[in-house]
Amino acid sequence: MCWFCSLQQPQGAKSVAHINLKSLQAMKKSIVLIAVTFVLLTFVSCSIGYKNDGKEVTWHTWNEGSGHNSQKVDADPETFEILNDDYGRDKTYAFYRGDIIRGADCQSFRVLEKGFAVDKFNVYDEGVLMKGADPTSFKIHSYELTEDKKDFYNNGKALNVRDKSSFEILKDKSGENTSWGKDKNNGYYLNGTVIPNIDYATFHPIDAERPIQSGCYAADKYRVFFMGKEIPEADPATFKEVDFYIGQDKHRAYQREMPTQIKDYTKLSQIGRLMYSDGINIYDLDFHILQDADVATFEHISDNWYKDESHVWWSNKLVNGADPKTFRPVPVSSYYSGNKGTMGGDFNYGKDDKHVFWNDSIIPGADAASFEKVDFPDGDSWTVFDRNRVYKGKDSPKLREYLKKKYGKLYE
């Protein structure tokens, strides 16, 4: 089964019904482009499936990155039956994408829709046994949600629903299914977490606009939950999700289910990917104060690197011994296109005019003036080196040629 064939509108996505008439013309053009794109994806990233030449069975894939790949299937060619691109069977075994499905009864094995299959004993989700699922009463609602006479399942995992007759998947304000459910007894986060003693009438998902927000918060009139975990002291009446995994009520901000010292997340300004400022302190992603940081001069260098007028940080770790006036990330280059091209600075290697650093630590003996990171065409992926030694990767002819050209007689 091709991956795009199973695509659904993401949970929380805006409905097509919200598109106004002015955008319909543009939408028609987009539909043509999308259709062409999907056709192309069929050929560049989908499984080709099984082939049986009467002598051996093989399973084939093709994608743009690695090209055509095939594997021999341990199947009997005379009795092998192709059930679809992913599933097959012979007189002894059932198979998923060329691999034997251990414990499957091949005689009764049959394929359902959306990647599911059953035999007279078990249910399988993309070839993986769904423990405890009953094949005779199994029903498929979507790629994620299924049920049998005993329980509901999400992505193959039992939800441990107490009362099936009153169970429902809760929807967001746009009418899309969320990651939450309830019955007359309990609330459910659809990873299998049961939330007992909810207030049934008021239990609801907290609205989120994906992908900016996660949809992992819910509340009733008494409590707030993150992925089924109760958030201590959170106020249900004012709680909302303000960023991905970040909640806010009238008291404070919360990261996942944990209260933080931040009073109002919306007043923070983000600095790079990893830091925040409220004008008084600098905070890391866990809202811990970055000690010694000078708010007035604090800035993002690039990627994981930060500095103020006196210090350098890798992520939230102080880089001891680094000079902020001369510090920069180690340059990164690649021969991917045939010629050496600069790709900017490294996430993890940095240097000043005296030292080279890996994350927050000095690399003893490294030469700051010549230290760099290059993807040579005959190297072992990325080669990290200076004019004296190789620190990561391998010594290759292209590396020696590069060093000889750059540093002359040193590499005769």
Instruction: For residue 169, count CB atoms less than 10 angstroms from its CB and return exposed for 0-12, middle for 13-18, buried for 19 or more.
Output: buried
How many other C-beta atoms can be found within 10 angstroms of the C-beta atom of residue 109?
A: 23
pLDDT, average across residues 342-370: 96
Q: Which amino acid is at 205?
A: P
Q: Please identify which residue in the block is written with the tokens 């199947």.
A: 75
What string of DSSP letters covers 69-81? Answer: EEEEE-S-TTT-E
Q: Determine the Cα–Cα distance for residues 203 and 195; give it in Å rounded to an integer.
A: 11
Q: Determine the Cα–Cα distance for residues 6 and 260; give it in Å rounded to an integer.
A: 39
Whole-number Cα distances in Å, 410 to 257, 373, 388, 396, 399: 58, 19, 9, 16, 13
Q: What is the pLDDT of residue 410?
A: 59
How many other C-beta atoms can be found within 10 angstroms of the C-beta atom of residue 340?
A: 13
Higher pLDDT, 164 or 33: 164
* C-beta separation of 205 from 198 below 8 A: no
For residue range 250-304, what is the model confidence (pLDDT) as tens digits? 999 999 999 999 999 999 999 999 999 999 999 999 999 999 999 999 999 999 9
Q: Which residues contact 22 (CB under 8 A, 6 or more apart)?
A: none
In this structure, what DSSP letter does residue 40 have? Answer: H
Q: Determine the Cα–Cα distance for residues 295 and 303; give it in Å rounded to an integer.
A: 19
Instruction: For residue 316, count CB atoms less than 10 angstroms from its CB and return exposed for 0-12, middle for 13-18, buried for 19 or more.
Output: buried
Q: How does strand 258-259 pair with strand 253-255?
A: antiparallel
Q: Determine the Cα–Cα distance for residues 242 and 220; give it in Å rounded to an integer.
A: 18
Report the SS3 class of residue 341.
Answer: strand
Q: Please identify which residue in the block is written with the tokens 């509340």.
A: 219
pLDDT at 45 over 60: no
pLDDT, average across residues 147-161: 96
pLDDT, average across residues 58-76: 89
* C-beta separation of 116 from 108 below 8 A: no
- pLDDT over 90 percentage in the chain: 76
Q: Which amino acid is at 274?
A: L
For residue range 175-223, what is the model confidence (pLDDT) as tens digits? 999 999 999 999 999 999 999 999 999 999 999 887 889 999 999 999 9
For residue range 88-109, what is the model confidence (pLDDT) as tens digits? 999 999 999 999 999 999 999 9
Terminal-residue alpha carbon distance, the chain:
57
Q: Which residues contact 363 (CB under 8 A, 6 or more apart)?
A: 355, 356, 357, 391
Angle at 210 between CA 204 and CA 214, to 5 degrees: 60
Angle at 311 between CA 308 and CA 314, to 5 degrees: 95
Scored b (16 or more CB within 10 A) or e, 4-23 reads eeeeeeebbeeeeeeeeeee
Phi/psi at 404 (5° precision): -65, -45
Kindly report the pTM of this predicted structure. 0.73
Q: Which amino acid is at 3?
A: W
pLDDT, average across residues 352-370: 97
pLDDT, average across residues 305-316: 98
Q: Which amino acid is at 341?
A: G
Taking the domains of the chain in order of start, what are their residue ranges?
Answer: 28-100, 110-154, 164-239, 328-411
pLDDT, average across residues 303-326: 97
Q: What is the pLDDT of residue 12?
A: 34
Q: Determine the Cα–Cα distance for residues 223 and 203; give it in Å rounded to an integer.
A: 9
Give the E-state strand segments of 93-174 in sequence order. 94-96, 99-100, 110-111, 116-118, 123-125, 128-129, 139-140, 145-147, 152-154, 157-158, 168-171
Q: What is the pLDDT of residue 280?
A: 96
Per-residue confidence band for 335, with pLDDT thresholds at 50, 70 and 90? confident
